[in-house]
Structure 1
Amino acid sequence: MLLPASAPLPQPTTASSFSLISLNVLLPNSHDGWWIYKYYPPSVAAAETTWSARSRLLEELLLIADADIICLQECCAASFESDFSFLQRAGYAASLLGKGRMRPATLWKTSRFALCDAAGAPAPPPPETPPHETTTDAEGPAAAGHDGGGAADAEECEWAALPATRGAAVTQGDRTLITTLHLIGEDGSPRGTPPLFVVNCHLTAGQEARRRLSQVHDALDRVRKQRAKALPKGHDPRAPCVVCGDFNSQGSTAVRELLLRGEVLPSFRESGDPTERDQAGTALTSKPKRQG
C-alpha cells in the first residue's frame, strides 16, 4: 500500500496491532551542521533549506501520520528535545542513543505503549535529568554553526529523552538503539502481550558491509540474550521485533539476507549496490551468522 504524505497511517485493526514510521531527519538541524544545501537544486530558496523551514514540514508529516511509534535518525543530542518538542506535546515519550553525532531516537505514544523489560514487566521511571554526551562518531567532528532555526538548547527544555543505558528497557549497540515496549490498555495497565523490541538503526555508511552486518546481527543477538535471560528456563523466548532505520545500503545486502532469510553464510556475496567495490569477491563473514 502506498499512501500520500498528506494521509494518516491506517488505524490499528486489532488490540495488538500498531503503526510505525521511520524517517532520517537529516542533519543539520537547529544546532549542528552546514551541508544540507547539497540535497536541494539551485532553484530552491536558501530559506527553505534551513531547519526552521524543514522542521515545519517534519512536524506536519509526523503529526498527520499519527504513528504509534516513530523512529528517527540523525538527531542531535544537544537540541533533540527542542527540535522535536511538538512530539512531546502530541503525547510521545522518547529514547535517544547515548553516543555519536547523528543519533537514532525512538518515540512512542504514551497512550498505547510503556517501557518494559525483556520479560514484559513495567520499567522503572526514567531519571529526571538524563545526561547528554557530545562525543562524535566516524561521520566526523561536531561542526560549529547555526542555521537560524531559533530552537532552545536542551537544558532549557522541560522534555527529556530517556538515554540509552544498561537498563532493561533501553539499550544500545553500535549505532543501534533497542527500546522495549509493551502495549497498555486505556487504564494504563499492560495488555499481557509479549514485549515489543524496536531496533532503530543508522548503520555505518561507505565501504562497511561487514560492519553493517555485525551491527544488525549484534543488536538482534542482544534482544535474544535479554529475552532468554528474563524468562524461566524452557520458556519460549520469541517476541515481536521490528528492525528499521537507515541501512545506508541497497540491493541484495547481508543485512537484508539476515532479516529475511534468518542467516548469512560465508558463501554469501552482496550485489546490486553500485557504491560498493568488488562485491562478488568480498566475503562478509567467516562463519554463519543467524537470528531467530
Structure 2
Amino acid sequence: MVALTTHHLISPASLPPYSPVPPTPIPGLAEAETATTNNNDNEYLSVLSYNVLLPNSVDGWWNYKMYLPPLFSSSSSSSTTTSNDDVVTDISSWDYRRNLLRERIGLIDADVVCFQEVSPLSFEEDFAFMKEDLGYDGCELFKKGRFRPATFWKTRKCDLVGAPVHKDRTLLTAFRVVSKKDDATGTATAEEKKEDKNSSKEDKKWYVLNCHLQAGSQGGRRVRQIHEGMRAVFTLAKKLKEKDPKSPNLIVCGDFNGGPECGAVKYIEEGFISPDFIEDGEPVTSKLKESPLSLPLLDAMNVPEIQRKDKNPPPPTLVVPELISLLVEIDESLSEEDRKTAYENPCLSKDAKERLERIYRRYATFSSSSSEQQTTDDATTMNISDVERWLIDINGRVGRGSEFRNAAKEMGWVEPVDVEDEALSDGESKGGGGAKKEKARIVLPQDGILSLEGFVNVYESELREGKFWGIAHDLAVMGEALPDAGVFESRYDRMYCSASLHPFAVLDTVSTVPCPNKSEPSDHLPIAASFVPR
C-alpha cells in the first residue's frame, strides 16, 4: 500500500491511499501552513524534493527493467527474432509516469520543487506541465551532465535574487519570499512586493541548495560536492550582503545517494568531517573539512517537534527489491568488516552463476569441433544468432545496453585503430582541433563466439556497475527469477535547514512495496517540508 502522510505541529493528518486519479484538494502542507501562520505575518516557504528517475521521454530506454516482476515475459524458449518494444506495459512509459508526477506534485503544491535526474534532451517538453498546469513559472536547469538537477518555483511566492550558482551536481538558488499577507490571494503586484520588501525589518534571503550527489563508491566526491555547495551558499550570502552570511535561511535537499553511513550526511549534520571517517573502505577526505556556517544543519524530516503518530523515524525514500543478498557472494564466516569489503568489490553469488549457466545452455546452439577436450555438456556455445536472441529477450533489440557492449567485447570486438590514432600512440602531438571524432560503432563479430565464461563475465560487469535491478530483470525474463527477499530500504533523499529556520510541517511518502510500480513513477519517493524563520 502506498500512502502520503503529513505531520505538523497542529494535528497530524493521514491521506488516503495514493492512486492515479485527477487531482483533488487534500490536507497537506498548504493546510499546515494556513493553520500555523494564521496568527502572524511571518513569511514561510514550502519545498519539495523528488528524484524523478531518468529515463525521461527521450534519453534512455531501460527503466522498464526496473519493474519487478517484469512487465513482459521472455520468449527465449522459441527462436523469436521480433522486438519486445511493443509489449512493454504502459506503466513504465514516460506519458504514464509524467501523469503520476503531475498529480503528485499538484497535490503537494509546494512553493519550490527540486528535481533530480532530468534529461536536458527533452527537459522543456517533459516538464512543460510544471508551468502550464501547476503554475511553476520560474525554472533553472543545471548546466552540465546527463542526470541533471532542476529547480522550479512560483514567482508569485518567490522572487529570484541574483543568478543561480552551478557547482558539481549542486544547484543553488536564492529568493526573496513573499510574506503571508502578500501571498494571501496569490496576486501580489510588483509594487506590493516592493512595499513589503521596504517595510521588512531585515531583508533576509532564502537559499535552496538542490543536490544530486554522486552515486556508487564515491564517498570522497560526495563530500567534496556538498562542501563545495555549502561554500557557494556562504559566498552568495556575502555577495547579497546578508547581515550574517554564516547564518542564512538555508534549505538543502535532494538525493544524497547514501544513508546515515554516508560522509556527506555526517558533514551536513555535524558541520565537519575529518580524515579518519571511512566510507567504502577509504577516507573521504585528506584533511579536515568544515562547514562555513556557524552551526550544523538540522534534519528537517526528523526534528523533535515533528510528532509522527507512530513515533517512528522518517520513512525510507528508496524502496526497491532486496537483491544484493541474492546476487553477491558472501562468505558467512567473514567478520562484518570483511563482508563490507566483499560488497565493495562484488562477485556474483554461486546461485546466480548456476542460474546463468542453465540459461546459457538453453541459448547455446552452436556446435564446435575445434576442441577435442569438449565434453557432452560443453559441446555447444553461443554464436552470433544465439547472442542476438538473448539480447532481444532482455533488451528488446540488438545494439543497446551494456550487456550488448560487453558481449561484443567478449566475442572479440575491438575498437579499430586508424592512422591518426597510431601516430598519436607513437608520440606525435595532435595540433589544431577540428571536429570531434565519433566513436567507432560496436558490432557483434560475425564469426564470434560467446563462451560460458564470457556470458558470466557480462553479468559480473553489470554487478560491478551496481545494476542489480538489470540482472534481476534479465534472470526473470530468461526463466530464472530470483526468490522474493523483501525490500531494500534507505533514506537517500534528505532535507536539511539552517538553525535560523523552523520546519513546522513535513510530508512523508510511504511505500511498503518495491518502486517504481503502478502508483510510483520513480524508485525514489518525494519528501517535502514547510519552514518559517525562527
TM-score of the superposition, structure 2-length normalised? 0.41
Q: How many residues align?
A: 230
Task: Show CA shifts across 1:130-186 (max 9, x none).
Answer: xxxxxxxxxxxxxxxxxxxxxxxxxxxxxxxxxxxxxxx211000111111111233
Residue 236 (1) aligns with residue 234 (2): no
Task: Show CA shifts across 1:172-217 (max 9, x none).
Answer: 0001111111112333415444111111111111110000000010
Which residue matches 1:65?
108
Which residue matches 1:78?
121
Which residue matches 1:284?
284
Displacement of 1:24 in angstroms is 0.8
Residue 265 (1) aligns with residue 274 (2): yes
Answer 1 or 2: higher relative contact order, Cα 8 Å, separation at least 6: 2
- 2: CA distance, partners of 1:84 / 1:51: 11
Which residue matches 1:2?
5
- 2: CA distance, partners of 1:268 / 1:203: 18
Residue 175 (1) aligns with residue 169 (2): yes
- 2: CA distance, partners of 1:67 / 1:9: 10
Residue 87 (1) aligns with residue 130 (2): yes
Q: Secondary structure at the match of 2:45?
A: coil
- 2: CA distance, partners of 1:175 / 1:56: 27
- 2: CA distance, partners of 1:236 / 1:32: 43
Which residue matches 1:225?
235
Distance 1:229 1:114, change over 3 A: closer
- Note if contact 2:260-2:266 (Cα within 8 Å) is conserved in structure 1: no
Q: Secondary structure at the match of 1:243?
A: strand
Which residue matches 1:146?
none
Distance 1:68 1:9, change over 3 A: farther
Which residue matches 1:52?
95
Distance 1:63 1:52, change over 3 A: same
Q: What letter corresponds to residue 142 of structure 2 in structure 1?
A: L
Residue 203 (1) aligns with residue 222 (2): no
- 2: CA distance, partners of 1:16 / 1:230: 19
Q: Secondary structure at the match of 2:222?
A: helix
2:153 to 84, 108, 118: 108
Alignment of 1:185-196 (within 5 A): 185=182, 186-188=188-190, 189=193, 191=197, 192=200, 193-196=203-206
Stretches of structure 1 lacking an aligned partner (at least 5 in a row): 118-168, 271-276
Residue 97 (1) aligns with residue 142 (2): yes
- 2: CA distance, partners of 1:21 / 1:231: 27
Q: What letter corresponds to residue 196 of structure 1 in structure 2?
A: W
Which residue matches 2:265?
256
Q: Secondary structure at the match of 2:283?
A: coil
Which residue matches 1:165?
none
Task: Show CA shifts across 1:86-139 (max 9, x none).
Answer: 11022211111011111100011111101003xxxxxxxxxxxxxxxxxxxxxx
- 1: CA distance, partners of 2:228 / 2:161: 21
Q: Secondary structure at the match of 1:2?
A: strand
Q: What letter corresponds to residue 5 of structure 2 in structure 1?
A: L
Residue 29 (1) aligns with residue 56 (2): yes
Q: Secondary structure at the match of 2:125?
A: helix
**Cα RMSD for the two superposed structures:** 2.0
Which residue matches 2:409?
none
- 1: CA distance, partners of 2:260 / 2:65: 24
- 2: CA distance, partners of 1:42 / 1:253: 30
Q: Secondary structure at the match of 1:19?
A: strand
- 2: CA distance, partners of 1:53 / 1:236: 46
- Note if contact 1:9-1:19 (Cα within 8 Å) is conserved in structure 2: no
Q: What letter corresponds to residue 135 of structure 2 in structure 1?
A: G
Q: Secondary structure at the match of 1:225?
A: helix
Distance 1:208 1:8, change over 3 A: farther
- 2: CA distance, partners of 1:266 / 1:178: 27
- Note if contact 2:256-2:265 (Cα within 8 Å) is conserved in structure 1: no
Q: What letter corresponds to residue 123 of structure 2 in structure 1?
A: F
Query: Which structure has greater helix proportion?
Result: 2
Deviates more, 1:38-47 or 1:95-104: 38-47
Which residue matches 1:163?
none
